[in-house]
Each structure stands twice: as structure tokens, then as C-alpha cells.
Chains A and B, each alone.
Chain A
Amino acid sequence: MTALLDLTGLGKRYGTVDALHDVGMTVAAGTVHCVLGENGAGKSTLCNLVGGGIRPSTGEMTLRGTAYSPGSPADALSRGVAMVHQHFSLVPTMTVRENLLLSGRGLRPDVQTLRARLDRIADEFGLRVDDARARVAELPVGARQKVEIVKALLPDPDLVLLDEPTAVLDGAEIDALIGTCQAVAASGRAVVLVTHKLGEVSRVADTATVLRDGTVAGSGRLSEVSVGQLLSLMLGRDTDAAGGPTVLDPVAAAGVGLAARRPIRDRVEVGPTAMTARGLTVTRPDGNRVLDGAGLDLRAGEITGIAGVEGNGQTELVRVLSGALRPDAGEVHIGDHPITTAPPARRTALGLGVVPEDRHHEAMVGDMSIAENLYLADLGRFRRHGFLRRGALDQAAAGVIREFAVRAPGPRTPMRALSGGNQQKVVLARELAVDGLKVLVAAQPTRGLDVGAVGQVLTRLREAADRGIAVLVVSSEVAELLALCDRILVGYRGRLLGPVDATAPTAAAEIGALMAGTTA
């Protein structure tokens, strides 16, 4: 097998921080190569270096033996390297066909050639584009992903990079993706799959490189190394002597997408209903019902989970509950108080805390300090004669930083200077401090966090429930929900199916069935 891509001593430095250093990797044609690592290990940086989005600070890349240093994604494409991005490269307001035509050259958009190429891709890889006239913004996430991949395959690349593609796919779609990867590799091309989900690797990869803390912790052929060894390399510690995932720390397992057998929580004392939602409906402009009469009950002291991949209405449900989205029909109550159309401030006053999915845009103001983020909703407490008491603000924040073990220079540090895990701790601290907190809604709370932070977040959520708060966790990581929750609902096509008892041994199978649309 010939080496297609070769990286030596590759590094990327931002200021005085090394996002990557001394990375070496070889990818052979006709193989699927996985780049593994937990969140924050530098995988996306590596992907972007190869894909032309950023330039390396040190090191070299060669493609088929010749030097390769793309100055832009366009350069990479011209050398036969195509990248499927985590956050997409499609223009949302344009249709699928228009997006696919963008890759062409020349004056007239060449619909003939496009159609011929699409047919070839469909034959070779089984990937078919359903409705080319749909606007990308209106497609469900899984369909957008498919269009992305088709677009990447159009220019007939030699190397296809996929950056965390499975985060938004359900079981069947993941199977299809894996099939596609294998087909692409079988055709003589190379596939580099970047992921933190160990479970997928073993199914699809021929070779793998493990990244940890910005450098290579190990690499080799999968036929020669066990999943347990890979896990140890990823986390930097031994999991257990036998190396099997079954007795794995559930938190660590959740962090890398492996199922753990033992749940974290042992006993549950459930109190009265704290929040109810009935008949929530949200319709998109094209008539599609993204929420279709969804309803739930949250009880004090209980941890409820919502499983299911993106695109089934969970995001919209959380936004309805938090007040960012007004439903077309349905009601939400906290206790006896209706909050369906209440502004966020009112919901907070009634005891609702929300940890939003999109941390950077909805949960925090990156350019403002930790102290300012913690107390923005509660500034009245620090006001005297119309002015802000900065000293008191900072002092209160310092206390929170200590209590939650946030790693930061001080309360005046801007939020964007913190790592993802520490940012999430601040957000959580703020929500947990809501006066008279009764309900806590957490959407994808551990997404993008390293294993250590995952553990702390999950522990805090459990502690909140122990205090008598009704906790709702929405997550696309089933393992995490099984480890944390008491009962689990499944989001499917805008409805909430279930609940499934999380402690039951058949829980995982039931959830899987509901996610696929079949009732158990």
C-alpha cells in the first residue's frame, strides 16, 4: 500500500500555546484511518491543517511524495483533498443544487456534468441526493450531512477528511456513513475519520492515530491493538488490567461514547411535579412540524433524559422551555404558573435554570468576564445609587470560582480565555445559583468537554437532583444518559416517546428501537 499522506513534526501554535506539536502520521491509499482523541486533544486543528483552513507553525506535509502546504481550502481541493466539516460548508439560503454547482468552473452552470457525477457517486457509494431543489436551511441535519459528503466527493478527491461526522446522525445513518467510508476506501482513495467515539473506530478503521494533549500518544493498525489500549492512550491512564470496557468508569465511558453497565446513581426519591409541558407544536415555514404535540412531566429529585439525534425536535423543545422560541400550540407550566409565552426573566424568577446547547452564543458572553457572566441576570444585587459595585461583584465571583474549581486566573478573566470545560462549569454554577431553583434543563451539557470536565458536570447534575431539583438532560450520547438518568425519553420526529426505565437491563435496546422508530 502506498503512502498517500505523510505528516512529520507538524505543529500549530497560537501565541504561546501549542494546540498541536510534533505530530507525525501516515495515511495509506485504500484505507480508513481514524484520528482519535478526546475533546480538546487537537483533532480538529489537525483536520483543518490538512484541509487547508489553517497553516502549520512547524512541520511538513507531503501528498504522494510531493510537498503539500495548502494556503486555503481551494488549494487543498486542487490537490485532491476534500474535507467534510463539523459545522458545514453549505450556504444555507441556497438550494442543494445551487450549492453543488458552486464547485464548478465556467460561465454556464454545468447541470449535465453535475447529474452525471451525482449518478456516479450514487452508484459507487450508495449516496443519493433526494431533493436537489430544497433549501439547505430547511433540511434536517442528517440530510445536510449527506449533501456535505456528496459535495466533498464531487471533485473526485484522493483523500476525504471527516471531522466528527457522527455527532448528528442516528444509528441507521451511522451505519450508512460507515458503509460509505468503507466504499470510498475500497475504491482506492483514503479516508481520514476524526472522532472521539471509540465505538465507531473499531467498526470502520484499518489504522488509527491517537492524539492526546496536542501530540501523538500512539498509532498503529487496529488489527494489532485492542479497544482498551486505545482508550488508555486517549485518556492517558490505565482503565483496568483486563482492558475491557465493561468495568470502565461510567463517566470515562460516557466521554468516549462507550456504553457502561453500572449507572452512577443508586437511589431515587421523587417529589411532586415541578414542570409540565403539553402539546407543544412548532411548525417550520415549509410546513414541517419540528415539534409535534410533545409533552413531558418533570418531577422534583428525578433526572429525566431525552435521547435521540439532532433534528428530532430536542433543540426546539429546549428553546421553547427556555423562552427563546414561542410554540405555535401547547402549554408549559412551572408548578401552577403558565410560562408558555413568558420572557426568560420571568422563568428564572419562577425557578428555571437552563444550560443551553450552543454555549458560545446562548449561554455566555465570551468577551465579558467570569464575574459579569455569572451575575448579568442578577445585577440588581450589586447596584448602589445606580452604579455597579465591581468589588462586590468580583468577590462573589471569586467564591464561585473556588467552589466549582474553575481553572482561571481570576474573576475578571474573559470567558473566552477559559477552556470549554471551565466555561461550562461557570454556566452551570450560574444556573445552579438561581434563587429558588426548581427545574434545571441541560442541553448537550458535556459536548466538547474533556473527560475530567464531563465527570464534574455529571456529578453536579446529580447533586442538584439530590437536592430536590427536577433535572432534564438532553443528550445525543446514550451512554451518558444511561449512566446519569432515572428515566429516559426518546425524541423522534417531533414527539417524545417512552419513558424508558434507565436502570432496566434492556434500557439500551429499548432506546435504540425507539430511536429507529420502531416501538418495543
Chain B
Amino acid sequence: MTVLTQILVSGIGFALPLLVAAAGELVSERAGVLNLSLEGMMLSGAFTAVLGSVLTGSPWLGALAGVAGGLLLGAAQALLSVRCLADQIVVGVAANALALATTTFGARLLLDDGRGHDVAAFDRVEIPLLHDIPLIGPALFGQTALGYLCVLVVVVTAVLLSPRTGPGLRIDATGEDAVAADRTGLPVRRLRILCILLTSAMAGLAGAQLALSEVRAFSDNMTAGIGYLAVVAVIAGRWRAPGTVVAAILFGLAQALQYALPALGVAVPPAVLAMVPYVIAIVAVSGLTGRSHAPSGLTVPFARA
């Protein structure tokens, strides 16, 4: 494989979990909830996925366990932020710390070496013909079965919840002006809870993809900031699905470059590349180029007297 193809392959490999998590987070943020706990949700998903796979010997059951792991944290976020009106940022940060500590602790306790031996993982499924397309073939059509499922989930979510659909419109209204939405008869709290649960399920799936398709084992803090990057992708994508997808892919490529460039002998320090996604997002959100529009009620809890 040429170097470029290799970069594309690893870039898409990084991008896929990022994309799934970001697509999920987009839904929550459109409803007005900022899930900084996305990182923790992904990590939980990765851990439970590996655990499930080790215990049952089936990668699919492992993936299911991953989704459940994300949902667990999502339930906590939903309960605390929506029902108890706790500050979304505190809950996000604390939940991440909790997830990191719990998965590290759990790995010590339940997985061999904290990593898991013989983790039943997914194998690459190369789609005939399409896989041979030069340059992008291997990257796009050499994913695992779970990987293809991830893409499907992203597409279905984007289509079913686009602002043009009924549910999509209602989600947008909840994030823009929760009070008006409530008076219109929309079940604001229920909507937000459902969005958070969806986000966490998708984040769990993303964690499972990372653990069972890419790395094929668990390691402490294996998500290493992808969750935050997913939140950033939503910002850089200006809270619209197409932008988020593009941002996620770009960020994945940037991460791949981080590792590839030194190997190529290019003298760019990896740290500089690591900065790129965040700088892009800052420029996007500061409106230095065009208008950026965060949902007006983002991070504001909803309470009726």
C-alpha cells in the first residue's frame, strides 16, 4: 500500500469511532445538552465491550455490552442534568473521572493484565471490487462488520433526526428555547433524556468499535481524548450533520498524520498536528469566518415553576 493509502486507512480508522460519538453528541447538543462526559461514555463502552467479549466469546455480544456501558453513564448524565438540574459541566467532568477510574479499577480486577487475553474481536471484511479502488478503497471498504454498522447508524441517525423531520424540528426547538417548546406542549425533559440516552448508546458503540475493531484489547484510558474531540467536531461542524461528519473525518486524518509524519521523516512535531482540530474549532466558533450558531439554550437546565 502506498503511504497515502496507509494514512487514509488509519485516518478513517481513527475517524470512525470519532464520527459515531460526534453524530450522537450532535443530537444532544441540538436539544440543549452539552455532554462533556462523552469521553467517559466511550471509555465505558470500550471496557464493557472487551469484558463482554471475553466473558461470552462473541464479539457481537461484546459490542452490545459496549452500548450498554455507554448507556449506563448516559443514564447518570440524564438523571443528574435533566432531573436534578445539576450543572452539565460539573457532571461531565466528574463522570469522565468516574469512568476513567472505574474502568481502570475494573480492568485490574476483571481482565487479565488489565487488557484481556484472546479478546474475541471483529475481523476486516473487505468488500470485493470496491476495496480495490485506488487510494480510498482500502480505507472505506476494508472495515470490520461493526465498522459498517457504525456507518449505518450514523447515516440513519442523521436522516431520521435531520431538522427537516418532525422529531428533528422538535429537538431543535428544545435546544433553542426550552420554555417556548414546553408551552407548545413538547415534553422537554423527556426529549432531552432520550437524546442523552441516544448519545450515550452511540458513544458506547464508538467505544466498542475502538476496542473490538481497531485495538482489539483494552488499555487504561484508551480513548485518550477522542470523546472531547467528538464534542469539538460538533462545534467545528457548527451543529449541523454534514459539517460534523467532515470535521470528524478531518480530525481522524490529523490524528493519523500525527503518527505517520515522523515515520516519513517529516520534521513536524506531532504536538503541532494534535493542535490542529482545536484551532479549527476555535476559528469556526469565533465567527471569524461567517456566522456560527450554537443552540441558544445549550447547557441551560430547564425548569418550570
B169 & A107 in contact (Cβ 8 Å cutoff): no
Contact, CB under 8 Å: B169 / A53: no
Contact B166 A109 (CB under 8 A): yes
Q: Are A107 and B182 CB-contacts (below 8 A) given A53-B304, A53-B305, A91-B176?
A: no
> Could you tell me if B305 and A107 are in contact, using CB atoms closer than 8 angstroms?
no
The winner among A72, A102, A106 for most chain B CB atoms within 10 A is: A102
| B185 contacts the other chain (CB 8 A) | yes
CA distance A57 to B296 in the complex (A): 33
List A contacts of B293 (CB < 8 A). Answer: 93
Inter-subunit contact B164/A109 (CB<8 Å): yes
Q: Which of A74, A92, A98 contacts B186 (CB 8 A)?
A: A74
Interface range on chain B: under 10, 10 to 19, 20 to 34, or 35 or more?
20 to 34
Picked from B160, B164, B166, the residue with its CB within 8 Å of the CB of A104 is B166
User: Are the CB atoms of A89 and B166 closer together than 8 Å?
Assistant: no
Residues from chain B with Cβ under 8 Å of A226 in the complex? none
Q: A92 to B179: give the CA distance in the assembly, Å.
A: 11
Q: Is the interface of B mostly helix, strand, loop or mixed?
A: helix
**B181 to nearest A CB, angstroms?**
7
Q: Tell me, rounded to whole Å, the shortest Cβ–Cβ distance linking B31 to chain A.
A: 13
For window 101-126 of A, CB contacts with B under 8 Å fall at 101-110
Q: A90 CA to B160 CA in the complex, in Å?
A: 24
B176 contacts across to A, CB distance below 8 A: 91-94
> Pick the contact of A72 from B165, B166, B182 — CB < 8 Å?
B182
Q: Which of A53, A78, A91 contacts B181 (CB 8 A)?
A: A91
Q: Which of A65-107 contact B (CB under 8 A)?
A: 72-74, 77-78, 83, 85, 88-94, 98-99, 101-107
8 Å CB contact of B180 from A88, A101, A104, A110: A88
Verify B165–A109 contact, CB threshold 8 A.
yes
Instruction: Write the nearest CB–CB distance from B225 to chain A, whole angstroms.
Output: 32
Shortest distance between the CB of B156 and any CB in chain A (Å): 12
Interface residues of A in 350-370 (CB under 8 A from B): none
Contact indicator B304/A103 (Cβ below 8 Å):
no
Q: Does B269 sit within 8 A of A, measured CB to CB?
A: no
Given A93-B296, A94-B173, the answer on whether A54 and B305 have CB atoms closer than 8 Å is: yes
- B177 touching A91 by the CB < 8 A rule? yes
Within 8 A of A (CB), among B171-194: 172-173, 176-177, 179-187
* A151 proximal to B (CB < 8 A): yes
A74, B185: Cα distance in complex, Å: 4
Identity of the chain B residue whose Cβ is nearest the Cβ of A106 in the assembled complex: B166
A residues in contact (CB < 8 Å) with B: 53-54, 72-74, 77-78, 83, 85, 88-94, 98-99, 101-110, 151
The 5 closest A-B pairs by CB, nearest first: A89-B183, A74-B185, A77-B185, A91-B177, A89-B180
Can you spell out 29 A-B residue pairs with CB atoms less than 8 angstroms apart? Answer: A53-B183, A72-B187, A72-B304, A73-B182, A74-B182, A74-B185, A83-B183, A88-B180, A89-B179, A89-B183, A90-B180, A91-B173, A91-B177, A91-B180, A93-B177, A93-B293, A94-B173, A98-B169, A98-B173, A99-B173, A104-B166, A105-B166, A106-B166, A107-B160, A107-B165, A107-B166, A107-B167, A108-B166, A109-B164
- 18 additional contacts, CB 8 Å, given A54-B304, A91-B177, A92-B180? A53-B183, A53-B304, A72-B182, A73-B182, A73-B184, A73-B185, A89-B180, A93-B176, A94-B173, A98-B173, A101-B166, A103-B185, A104-B166, A106-B166, A107-B167, A108-B165, A110-B166, A151-B184
